[in-house]
Amino acid sequence: MRVVAIVPGGIGNQILFFATLDNLKRHYPNAQIDVVVEPQSKAAYLVSKSFHEVITFDFQDRNTLADWGNFVGVIRDREFDVAITVIPDWFIGFILWLTGIPVRIGYQGKGSVFLTHHILLKNSQYMAAMYLDLLQPLGIKSPVPELAINIPKLDLDWALNEQKRLGIHETGYILIYGGSGEVDNYPINEWQQIIQECQRRQPNLPVVVINDGTFGRSLLEVLPGIKLVSADSIGKLAAIIGGASLMLSINGVPLQLSVAVQTYTIALLGTADPVKLLPQSEKVLAIQSPTGEIADISPQVVLQKIWGS
């Protein structure tokens, strides 16, 4: 069986879709599964184990009829048996109909007339579960498995060497992802309070900050004792997250990676709904801003989640 999955969205969306791919591969181990993603999301599949090929298409671009025609040709030439789309959009349904794929699965909506099977969109649940619903027409109705990723050995070796370089290999560490610093994120002075209290309580537990954009450098200016780590691939990022004792993270790709590698995680969220974004797990705690502004989360609330008092 040859399957193609149409999955626009960022890298975080792809990671949440991995459970669907893994479940499909588990039930149909001989299936060849290709995915169609936007170019900037292709890197996610460096840590997936349940796909054959990644096809890129920029769904957000101002595509011409010729662009869509080429896309239809690419998909038609591969002679897929099944198409799965996460987009409840009539045009995507129409495009899949043009490809001639015999089984076309998607959510109920304006475009479902072009689908052979359409599933009720339950978008108030965990997104990984929402995606998994699309496998029901293929006879797959199992519970949502835990997110899982496949970190390449070279990236695991890199992370081990990086931990040794930073002097944190034997001690464990608290890892922080605070964003790029280029948009409104959790304020530096609030992070400073949290880190200083963690250092006071556990002086032998290093604090490591993912250096993405200006955030890490800005934090280092006020807290010279922290350590910065930079990862230039999603595999390296996942590996360094997997070695942490605790991850503190705003919404973003590192948060989903932390869930997937089962690091104890505390998520600081603004408007994002934790029910949709995160699984129910003892290893994942969400703190949602009472106002929708992430800056309004009190450092004391975060510290209470960390230390329990």
pLDDT in tens, 29-70: 999 999 999 999 999 999 998 999 999 999 989 999 999 999
For residue 145, the model assigns a pLDDT of: 75
CB-CB contact of 231 with 240 (8 Å)? yes
Task: Clarify whether residues 226 and 183 are in a common domain.
Answer: yes
List CB contacts of 56: < 8 A, sequence separation 6 or more. Answer: 36, 37, 38, 39, 42
Token representation of residue 101: 């794929």
221 belongs to a structural domain: yes
CA distance 199 to 195: 6
- Strands 207-210 and 103-107 come out as unpaired
Examine residue 148 and state whether it is found in any structural domain, yes or no: no
Poorest-pLDDT segment among 109-123, 129-143, 252-266? 109-123
Q: Which of 34-48, 97-111, 120-134, 171-185 has the lowest mean pLDDT?
A: 171-185
Domain tally, the chain: 2
CB distance 229 to 211 below 8 Å: yes
Q: Do 109 and 176 sit in the same domain of this protein? A: no
Q: Exposed, middle or buried: residue 29 (CB in 10 Å: 0-12, 13-18, 19+)? A: exposed
Q: Tell me if 19 sits within 8 A of 132, measured CB to CB.
A: yes
State the pLDDT confidence band at 194, using cuts at 50, 70 and 90. Answer: very high
Q: End of a domain among 107, 138, 169?
A: 138
Residue 183 reports pLDDT greater than 70: no
Percent of the chain whose pLDDT exceeds 90: 84
Residue 122 and residue 36 share a domain:
yes
Residues 22 and 97 reside in one and the same domain: yes
Q: Is residue 76 part of a domain?
A: yes
Q: Judge whether residue 179 has pLDDT over 90.
A: no
Reduce the DSSP state of residue 188 to 3 states and report it.
helix
103-129: average pLDDT: 92
Residues 126 and 8 in one domain: yes
Alpha-carbon span 98 to 115, nearest angstrom: 11
Judged by average pLDDT, the poorest of 22-26, 63-67, 180-184 is 180-184
Please compute the mean of the pLDDT values over residues 143-159 and round it to a whole number: 92
Same domain? For 187 and 299 the reply is: yes
Alpha carbon 132 to chain centroid distance? 15
- Do 204 and 291 belong together in one domain? yes
User: Does an H or E element contain 229, and which?
Assistant: strand 227-229
CA-based end-to-end distance of the chain: 54
Residue finishing a domain among 104, 138, 172: 138
In the DSSP assignment, the letter for residue 143 is P
- In this structure, which amino acid lies at residue 261? V
pLDDT of 181 above 70: no
- Residue 8: give its domain's CATH number: 3.40.50.2000
Segment 281-303, tens digit of pLDDT: 999 999 999 999 999 999 999 99
Q: Are residues 124 and 185 in the same domain?
A: no
What residues does 175 pair with on adjacent strands?
208, 247
Same domain? For 110 and 158 the reply is no
Nearest to 257 by CA among 233, 241, 236: 241
Best CA proximity match to 43, nearest among 81, 7, 66, 11: 11
Residue 145 forms part of a structural domain: no
Q: Are residues 162 and 133 part of one domain?
A: no
Asked if the structure places residue 220 within a domain, the reply is: yes
Give the pLDDT score at 142. Answer: 82
Instruction: Check pLDDT > 70 for residue 182.
Output: no
pLDDT at 144: 81
Quickly state the pLDDT bin for 199 (edges 50, 70, 90).
Answer: very high
Same domain, 90 and 184: no
Task: Report pTM.
Answer: 0.92
**Backbone torsions φ then ψ of 32, nearest 5 degrees:** -100, 115
Domain end position, chosen among 108, 138, 168: 138
Quick one: pLDDT at residue 129?
94
Share the mean pLDDT of the chain: 93
Structural domain of 233: 153-307
Q: Residues of the chain with pLDDT > 70: what percent?
A: 98
Determine, yes or no, domain membership for 211: yes
Same domain for 115 and 194: no
Whether 46 maps to a domain, the answer reads: yes
Residue 260 placed within a domain: yes
pLDDT at 170: 80
